[in-house]
Amino acid sequence: MDRLASMSLFVTVAETGGFSAASRKLGMPLPTVSRKISELETYLKVRLLNRSTRRLELTESGKSYLAACKRIIDEVHEAERVAANEYTAPKGELMITAPIWFGRLHLLPVVIDFLKAYPDIDVGLMLTDRVVSLLEEHVDLALRIGALPDSSMMAIRLGAIRQVVCASPAYLEAHGTPKTPMDLLQHHCIMMQVYNSTPWTFTTGSKTITVPVRARLTVSTAEAAIDAAVGGIGITRVLSYQMAAMQKAGKLVTLLDAFEPAVLPVSMLYMSGRILPLKLRAFLDFAIPRLRAQVAPF
């Protein structure tokens, strides 16, 4: 059995949604397609597809194997291009994921300029605040904020951002400015569900200070927390880049800077142990210096 050919056939069946569609696309007899997939399952000793009269569904093993097949096929194609010295213009589709706000504010403008510079590359930009699996969701590159767990991934450090406490000048004029973290107990606070629920923690030297702040308002997004802080409702804690525009406009000021917790690293993450595709290498070379220039001030 030609395993690479079987992998390619399996990918086509999965992507087209069935044996008949794959048969038409490849110009291969339908019985041959069915037989080859069955032979692949026999070889692997696992069922890859659940067959029914209405539709074809990947099993959990099939989903994992599909992701691996795509990665292997991409690496083979890239290795062939390198072996043939095909150093032509990068081409293909690049899948990137990033947190929603940071991605829209900082990554999207870089992607737009990249697309103008590389007309043969298409980009899929997945903006989401959940952690995306590069392997399972066929993503080439992830922008992550925060400490990275140990893994086999390759990481490129772009810079770091701060967690800041901030309020509007009007609120501080009416209620006073906290000088220490414990002073927050006397203030109205705006909190975000999940991200910074009570208590808030601060640092001074090697010591950690825990403050069970009182939430006057609880919201589900940083945008809402910032809007409420600008409106004078209370003090909130967000990431530095999220409130940078309001700070520049004089609508918010940071507080307790001397007690900020450790900065959060910003990194680019991609799969290791592979030949780096030209399209990915081109994007990294283009985007990294631009993103580092944007992240550095935070």
pLDDT at 134: 84
Domain assignment of residue 238, given as a range: 163-259
List the beta strands (DSSP E) in the chain.
49-51, 56-58, 92-98, 121-127, 141-145, 154-161, 163-167, 189-192, 200-204, 207-211, 215-219, 235-239, 253-255, 264-270
Together in a domain, 285 and 255: no
Give me the percent of the chain exceeding a pLDDT of 90. 57
Q: Tell me how many domains the chain contains.
A: 3
pLDDT at 147: 85
The answer, yes or no, to whether residue 30 has pLDDT greater than 70, is yes
Together in a domain, 121 and 195: no
pLDDT at 95: 93
Note the pLDDT tens digit of each residue in 135-192. 778 889 999 998 887 777 889 999 999 999 999 999 999 999 999 999 999 999 999 8
Give me the percent of the chain exceeding a pLDDT of 70. 92
Q: What average pLDDT does range 274-289 have in this prediction?
A: 87
Task: With beta carbons less than 8 A apart as the criterion, state whether 187 and 233 touch.
Answer: no
Q: At which of 35, 55, 83 does a domain end?
A: 83
Together in a domain, 167 and 253: yes
Residue 73 sits in a domain whose CATH number is 1.10.10.10
Nearest Cα to Cα of residue 33 among 53, 65, 11: 11
The answer, yes or no, to whether residue 112 has pLDDT greater than 90, is yes
Q: What average pLDDT does range 228-248 have in this prediction?
A: 95
Together in a domain, 149 and 272: yes
Together in a domain, 72 and 133: no
pTM, two decimal places: 0.67
Note the pLDDT tens digit of each residue in 59-107. 988 988 888 888 888 778 777 766 665 556 678 889 999 999 999 999 9
H helices within 17-59, ranges in order?
19-26, 30-44
Residue 111 sits in a domain whose CATH number is 3.40.190.10
Together in a domain, 239 and 183: yes
CA distance 176 to 143: 38
